[in-house]
Each structure stands twice: as structure tokens, then as C-alpha cells.
Structure 1
Amino acid sequence: MTQRIVPVPREVAGERLDRFISKQVPGFSLERARALIESGGVRIRGKKCQPTRKLWGGELLEIELPRPKATSIPSSVEGPRLVVLHDDAALVIVDKPPGLVVEREGRDASVADLLAVQRPPFDVEGQAMPGIVHRLDRETSGCLAFARTDDAAAALLRAFQEKRVDKRYWTLVLGSPPETGRLEGPYARDPNNPRCFTTRIPSARRAALSFQVKERLPGAALLEVDLDTGRTHQIRVQLSEAGFPVLGDSLYGTDAAREHPAAKALGRQALHAFELEIPSPLTQQQVKVRAEPPEDFQRALVLLRG
């Protein structure tokens, strides 16, 4: 059991206990808050409470958090040993291999499952699983952060919302882009294909990124991309619609980008999360890590240079 004391501010007088806990205690949904109260895990002056109890403000809540449940972890998880770039009591950053989903889909092993088994302990939303605070596509490799606790997950999600996280990617694209560039505009799901996104229809949502050429290659280029926003498929969409499709991109790439010899050598989209800088939930100091491109990405580079 983990115990914590939560003071109730005067200004929330009249609010229900279950709703207050779901708002104030990281990782607690309204349903989870009610279940904890009904089990006797919340007391005021040593006495059990009802979920519907009205708070008067100024009292102290005595909360006992149960041990995280391990039932969500598969009995047998098979997959590669993850390369850990940073690990402390709140934050774990791994070098995600290509071909793995971040969160379990069906029976496929995920990065979260492997990390739960290889680098415990985790306690997020009552489960012995890492807290997922951002994602990479299945085919994308590189820096990926997870939270160890509810408090850490809340702090990391807040950092993303407040744009205090710096994410940089390397990608191989077809064509000859300018030395530097910035792409910014509307971003929405494509009405003609719900699997895809586009910048070509009006939308209140915006997407922005900057890029610079790291290396010019015959008919292609290696770009470093700095994401200002973190929209789904954003790099692939914006570069493709700007005329520089990512090599090997099966969804947004042109035939030439998909059939390029380097794309075939790579066997996936040429996108790698090269660098991540994120504030530590423990110290609020920036944690900065880098992941070198994996062997398949390097192989595609060698082919292009050759």
C-alpha cells in the first residue's frame, strides 16, 4: 500500500468526494475513484466515506493506494531486449526498434509490454504497466518516453501540452528539398480516406515543423526534422504534400518513393526519432537523449551514398 495525504482547498466546498479525487489525484478516473472510496481506501478523520459525500473544504483526505495489478501483463512476452537511454524513478526512455507497436494490439507484443517485464516497477492507473505519454508509428524507430507513476505521467503529459518537449527526427526523402524549410498549416483527417490525414482541407487544428538538409544524396536527401506539434503521421503527411515523400512510406509515399531501391533495402518508412529532450518529473531539469539510426536505416544510407 502507498499512503498519501491530500488537502481539500476551501474553494471546492460542496464538490463530491469522488469527483474531487478524479480531478486532483493523477491517474484516477471517476470510476476508479469511486471504487477506491467504496473499498475503504479514502478516509476523513480516520472514518470511511461515501463517494457522494460533499466536501466542505479544509479537511485532509487519507488515501491508501493499492499495489498495482499485474493482470494486464501477458503471461509470456516475447520480443527484443530494449535499449534503455534513460531510467530513473519517474521516467524511462527507450530506443524503440522498428516493427513494434507502442501499445498492445491483439496478440502482438508491444514496447509497453516488453518494458513492463524488462524494467519494473511501474504503477500507472492501478496497473503494473508503463504510462504512455507519446507514441511512434509501428515502423518508426528511436526515442520513446514512458512514465513510471501516475504523478510522472501527469507531469510528462503537461510538458507535452505546454510544448516543453523537443523532438527531432531523421528521415530519408525523395527529391531535392531546400536547405532549410518550415511547413505549417491546417491538419485534419482526409474525408476521402479515414485512414489518412491531410493539410489540404480547412481545419482549426494546426500542424507545424521545421527541417534542414543533413546530407544530399542522388535523387534524395537526409533531413533533420524539428516537430513543433505532434500530430498523427505529421512528418509523413507534410513532407509528402510538400513534394518530398518519405522513402518507403506505404500510406503517403509516391510510387517512386515506395519502389526506390533504398526503400526496398530498408523495408519500412525511413523515419527515425533521433533526439528527445524532455523535462524530468523529478527535477524539472531537461533530460536529453539520442538514439543512433538502426542498422536498416544505415543500410539504406549506404546504398544511397554508393
Structure 2
Amino acid sequence: MADEIPIPDEYAGQRFDRVLARLFPDYSRSQLKGWIEAGHARLDGQAVRPREPVHGGQLASLDAPDRLDEHSSVSAQAIPLHIVYEDEDLVVLDKPPGLVVHPGAGNPDGTLENALLHRFPELAAVPRHGLIHRLDKDTSGLLVIARSSRAHARLTEAMQAREIVRRYQALVIGSMPSGGTVDAPLARHPVDRKRIAVRQGGREAVTHYRVAERFPFHTLLDVKLETGRTHQIRVHMAHVRYPIVGDPVYGRRLSVPRGATETLAESLRGFRRQALHAARLSLTHPVSGETIEVAAELPTDFQALLRALREDARAREAEARRRADR
């Protein structure tokens, strides 16, 4: 059933989408605009354009489709979740590698969304089941989940305004001399529609990175997203010719450095996903206004690969010293 609210006289002459945002503050402006265009939000029972001027006393009605999520095909499933922060308005969890966020082709269930509906049944009535953003299947780390429509609207607007700070750790191929910024627009690949590519005319995409640890043939980076496009870090790192280790789409074929220790060789051969982890997250709480900062440790496979790289680096340094002493 649609919610109906009379439009106050003081809003006369303003655009319908802006007035609707004031009358229904639990939803973001982008959500409301889409619903107006789809006919889910009406003025005096009539479908109108978002910029239609309103008059005092008219009736604004909203039948938000996301309120029907409890009847969707996504089922609740008991899948373990690693919660790192939780209150009545939001949740921050640490997603393991290998867990798909949304059901889709090839992954009809067993996803993070299924797990969320089991752990937090109230998400059935929240837009997108509380999800604010996503991570690729084989990327690990922090994700924000809204537990109410009000929190979802405010967090979505904060994400769009680039007020939620996300920092990643990425292991790339090659010894980077220094950090920097990649400012290169992204769009769908012109041939392979499953891939993203740097393309003129694409959406703005900006990635900042700095060297956290350097190895003879690899570099561990701290990465900060200014924008959050699909596959952004993976594509940008490949674009500057330092692809992420193990990336099956944008990376290079497996190459074990000459003279590598057996441990490193085995670790590189066994690492079959992109070495990318959403490590730190900072945001303003959508209700209290306090600053929330959380962190997530690297997964065990990523930690093991770093240990192997450090062991290899020490072995190479020891060998170099022996040769210098001869």
C-alpha cells in the first residue's frame, strides 16, 4: 500500500523530486528520482516528471518497490558471518575471499545476501537488503550494511558524496619505486562486456596508492579509493603496468621469479585469486553522527604469501652478502 502525504503550502513551486526527498527522508534522492521515473511515486495519483513543480495541498504518494523485498526470491541461509561492528542502525562485516555478495547467474544462493537475511531478518524490508556497496567474489574485507531504510538512505548518500573512506591492501607484480595516483575513466570493455577498461568518455575513477612494503619482484600497496567503480583498483593497477598478484582477469600469467625460494614458488602457484583486501573503513554514523573506524586483518592466505615474500627477500639479501664477502 502506498504512503500518502499532503504537500505543505511552503513547498509550492519546488520540484517534485526535491519535495519528495523532504517528505520521505528515509530514502536517498537518487532512489526517489528512480521511483518517480518508474511511476512508483505520484502526484495526485498521476505519474509526473521529477522536475514537475508542485502546489500546496497536492497529495504525494510513494509505493517503494524495495519494501516488497521480503517476498523476493532471495532466501535466508545460515552462513557464518564475521561481524566487526554492530549496532541497531548498521553492521560492518569482514567478507572472506570466495563469498559472492549477490545471487546471480551461477550463484543462485550461498551468497552474502542470503547470509544477511538469516542473521538480520529485518533486512527483508530494507532497500537492497541493507547493502551499500559490494566487493568482488575473491576480494576480502570490510563491507557496510544498513539495518534500516533511514540508515540505508543516509549511507548511500554518504557513499555517493565520497564521505565513506575505504582503504585497501593490494599486492602487485613489480617493485614500485613510489606511490602515486591513477586518474583514468572506466567503462565496459568494448568487446568483452564482463571486463572493465580505461576508456575516454567513461566514468571518473581516481585511485590513490602508496608503497607499504617493497620486495625484489613485488610491492605491497596501501590503496585509497576516491571513487568506487567496478573493478577499479584491479583495472587501474593493470593500467599502470603493476597488475595485482593472482588476478585472473586483469593480471599476468603466473610467473615465479628466478631464484625464488621453494616456499615462495609454492605460495605464488597456490594463490588463485586477486591479492586485494578491504582493510580499513571510516564513516560518519548515519544516526548518531559519531565517527566509526574499523579495520580487518589480512586473510590467512594473504598473510602466508607475504611471509613467503619476506623469507625470499631475506634469502636474497643473505646470498648477496655472501657474494660480496668473497
Q: TM-score, normalised by structure 2?
A: 0.75
The answer for the alignment partner of 1:304 in structure 2 is: 309
The answer for the alignment partner of 1:107 in structure 2 is: 108
Q: Which runs of 5+ in 2 are unaligned?
A: 49-53, 258-264, 312-326
Aligned partner letter, 2:112:
V
Aligned partner letter, 1:172:
L
Instruction: Provide the rounded CA distance (Å) in 1 between the counterparts of 2:256 and 2:73.
Output: 36
SS at match of 2:122: coil
Which structure carries more helix by proportion? 2
- The equivalent position to 1:243 in structure 2, one of 241, 244, 258, is 241
Aligned partner letter, 1:109:
G
Greater shift in the superposed pair: 101-110 or 290-299: 101-110
Rg (Cα) greater in structure: 2
Contact 1:98 1:138 in 2 (8 A): yes
Offset at residue 190 of structure 1 (A): 2.1
Instruction: Provide the rounded CA distance (Å) in 2 between the counterparts of 1:169 and 1:53.
Output: 44
Instruction: Provide the rounded CA distance (Å) in 1 between the counterparts of 2:46 and 2:59.
Output: 17
Cα deviation 1:29-73 (Å, max 9, x = unaligned) = 356846xx9xxxxxxxxxxx9623997425798999998663336
Offset at residue 220 of structure 1 (A): 0.7
2:267 matches 1:269: no
Offset at residue 264 of structure 1 (A): 3.1
Offset at residue 285 of structure 1 (A): 2.4
**Length, aligned pairs only:** 286
Instruction: Provide the rounded CA distance (Å) in 2 between the counterparts of 1:258 and 1:57.
Output: 71
Which structure carries more strand by proportion? 1
2:6 matches 1:11: no
Cα deviation 1:169-213 (Å, max 9, x = unaligned) = 0011110112321111222222132222222x3225221111111
2:126 matches 1:124: yes
2:283 matches 1:278: yes
Instruction: Provide the rounded CA distance (Å) in 1 between the counterparts of 2:152 and 2:63.
Output: 19
Instruction: Provide the rounded CA distance (Å) in 1 between the counterparts of 2:67 and 2:226.
Output: 38
Q: TM-score, normalised by structure 1?
A: 0.79
2:175 matches 1:176: yes
Offset at residue 233 of structure 1 (A): 0.7
Aligned partner letter, 1:84:
I
SS at match of 1:152: helix
Structure 2 CA distance for partners of 1:19 and 1:163, relative to 1, 3 Å: closer
Cα deviation 1:155-177 (Å, max 9, x = unaligned) = 11111111111110001111011
Contact 1:181 1:210 in 2 (8 A): yes
1:67-106 aligned at under 5 Å gives the runs 70-72=70-72, 74=74, 77-79=77-79, 81-105=80-104, 106=107
Offset at residue 112 of structure 1 (A): 1.8
Offset at residue 266 of structure 1 (A): 2.6
